[in-house]
Amino acid sequence: MFFLGNFADETAFKQWFHAALLRLALVGGDAASYQMTHDPASAARFTALDSKSDYLAKIKTAKDHIAKGDIYQLCLTTELQADYVGDPLALFLRLRRAHPAPYCTFLKTEHGTYVSISPERFISVRGSRVTSSPIKGTRPRSNDPAEDLELQQRLGSDEKERAENLMIVDLIRNDLSSICESGSVNVESLLAIRSYSTVHQLVSDVSGELVESKNGFDALRALFPGGSMTGAPKISACAILEQLEKRERGAYAGAIGWISATGDMDLGMVIRTAIFEASRVKIAVGGGITSGSYPATEHAEVQLKAMALVEAMGAEVSW
């Protein structure tokens, strides 16, 4: 969990830091009390920018590009929008308890407030060691233990999902090879199944040792934007996404976390994130399209990924 801010000088930072420690003690010690006095952010109905038929048509276009050899994977996304009332921090406290995730983040800036339950590590740098952990491959959870295990096993054996993950692993290996010692880039974990509150995911861990002349900032430049949120090859995928999505993603699919002055960092991917701006809230969702994708299945996946945030806000979605 990260609480971040922008400061004019060291004095302003220290004032904020001490106030934040006090607030954390109060909220962390009695989050339920905070939520009792602050209504969590809520919405009545989200509207998807792409209707179901439009999204299915875009998937077909993506597959046409794949068939022509322009790309071999595309992370196609859409966005949900709604008016909201209530307190984003109270919503975050609710989500943190109900949907714990490695990169749970609350970030308030002059541009908006970000409430994230992201499970995905974009980049971690410790000294010369750099790691990225792409997530590609999704199945829903079930309340029935036997069915939940079956869903997990199906994910692990699904050739389309495995291929999707492997493509991004190869992309990240290539990105890291440009700033890491020759022969040091390794896949530490391949196609591991990690389970979260609403989904099972396929996750791989790719690591390398930075060459002596490079630091974490160089690694961030080499990896950004994250391959799991673009597709591959990255440049071609981004060009096609610009044509298909016809909107700026903003912070979505970016990175959020902390960076030290030495270049050490731990940044999560900005996914499973609600972005509050004035009286509007936005939730972007997407999925990887490959030659083996079934459009209806891909559309169902984006609905699944939006579910935790939408339900936490007591809302419905007009797809």
Using alpha carbons only, give the angle 300, 151, 163 rounded to the nearest 5 degrees: 70
Handedness of CA 68, 71, 75, 81 (dihedral sign): negative
136 tagged catalytic: yes
Residue 261 backbone dihedrals phi, psi, to 5 degrees: -65, -25
Q: Which structure tokens are listed for 87?
A: 């307190």
Active-site annotation holder among 136, 214, 234, 305: 136
**How many Cβ atoms are within 10 Å of 219's Cβ, its own excluded?**
27
120 is catalytic: yes
Q: Are 108 and 121 in contact (CB under 8 A)?
A: no
Rounded CA separation 129/118 (Å): 22
Residue tagged active-site, from 79, 120, 209, 245: 120
Nearest-10 crossing angle of helices 234-245, 52-68 = 150
Q: Which residues pair with 194 in a beta bridge?
A: 201
Q: How far apart are CA 223 and CA 269, in angstroms?
A: 12
202 and 137 Cβ atoms separated by less than 8 Å: yes
**Strand locations in 121-165 (E):** 121-126, 129-133, 135-140
**124 CB-near residues (< 8 Å, 6+ apart):** 130, 131, 132, 133, 265, 266, 267
Active site positions, annotated:
120, 136
